[in-house]
Amino acid sequence: MTRQLRPLPTLFAGCWLALVLAMAATNVQAAPSRLVADLSQTRVDITSGYHGTELLLFGAYEGVPGDELVLIVEGPATDIVQRRKEKKAGIWVNVETFIWQQAPSFYHMFSTAAFDRIADADVRRSAEIGPASGGLMLVAGANVNRGYEGGGDERTRAAEPTRGTSEQEAGLRRNMTANGLWQSKPSSIITQQNMLFRTMLSLPSNVPTGDYVVRILHFRNGVALSERTTDMNIRKAGMSALIYRFAHDYPVFYGLFAIAFAVASGWLAAVAFRRG
């Protein structure tokens, strides 16, 4: 089988071959594992040179013609503040704030066909396909203290959480798609012989850090046959982690250090260019 593959980078071919062999081995043991998935990288380090990256998501499944696959990469849940602007006295002003509670900070989904062709809405919801499939809750008219680094503590709530309407969810989806954190990519999974699959995951430069879950679902005739999950971790590393931790763990020293650095370099510049 593998000899019939189209020319591919040797890495991909190597991975695929290994998977096929692994599947063949498991089949012999009569404990059919119908779905295997892996990533080219299970840990992504955000170093100073990071400017987004691409990961290969690949695996093998036991399919028949007509089978479909759905692949979901989900980031850690977080509260998301959403604001709405209105024109007041000739200028555009934020007039309304609401907080989406524990919504996915990152949600990219891939499939072999249009999502509504793979399974109907109820099945997709019960299989938790879609960033809002669990039903997102929001607090309207909320006041968010320290919006940027909130940390989840100092929030005063003006109202009890309510379920977001489909209109509100569409607004959230639009914003999150625009900033690249939520993506829906139907027909983006490439399959071979109903056995192998692969797709590319593009992590944007503003990717949230934390623990990610990669889920792969195998559908036949609109029903989910099996599901596998695998973990991925994205974290700051190297100098960018060092600066971030310094700023957050020792804020006073960080501030003093930043001032000292500025004074020293300003002085150096003055001295250097006076002689020059």
Site for another protein, residues 187 to 216, rule: CB under 8 A: 205-206, 208
Mark residues 222-241: x for contact with another protein by CB under 8 A, - for none.
Answer: --------------x--xxx
Q: What's the min distance (Å) between Cβ of 276 and another protein?
A: 8
275 near another protein (CB under 8 A): no
Give the interface segment with another protein, choosing from 112-120, 193-201, 214-222, 253-261 (CB under 8 A).
253-261
In 10 A of CB 25, how many CB atoms? 10
Contact positions with another protein (CB under 8 A) in 44-73: 46-52
**Pairwise CA distance, residues 50 & 222, whole Å:** 40
Number of H helices and number of E strands within the chain?
6, 16
Given candidates 26, 40, 78, 191, which one binds another protein under the rule CB under 8 A?
78
Q: What's the min distance (Å) between Cβ of 249 and another protein?
A: 10
Q: What's the min distance (Å) between Cβ of 90 and another protein?
A: 6
123 near another protein (CB under 8 A): no
Residues binding another protein: number (CB under 8 A)? 73
**Pairwise CA distance, residues 237 & 48, whole Å:** 8
Cβ contacts of 158 within 8 Å, gap of 6 or more: 139, 140, 141, 142, 143
125 near another protein (CB under 8 A): no
Given candidates 1, 22, 25, 259, which one binds another protein under the rule CB under 8 A?
259
CB 75 within 8 Å of CB 84: no
147 near another protein (CB under 8 A): yes
The structure tokens listed for 216 are 């792969």
Whole-number Cα distances in Å, 137 to 60, 107, 112, 182: 36, 17, 30, 17
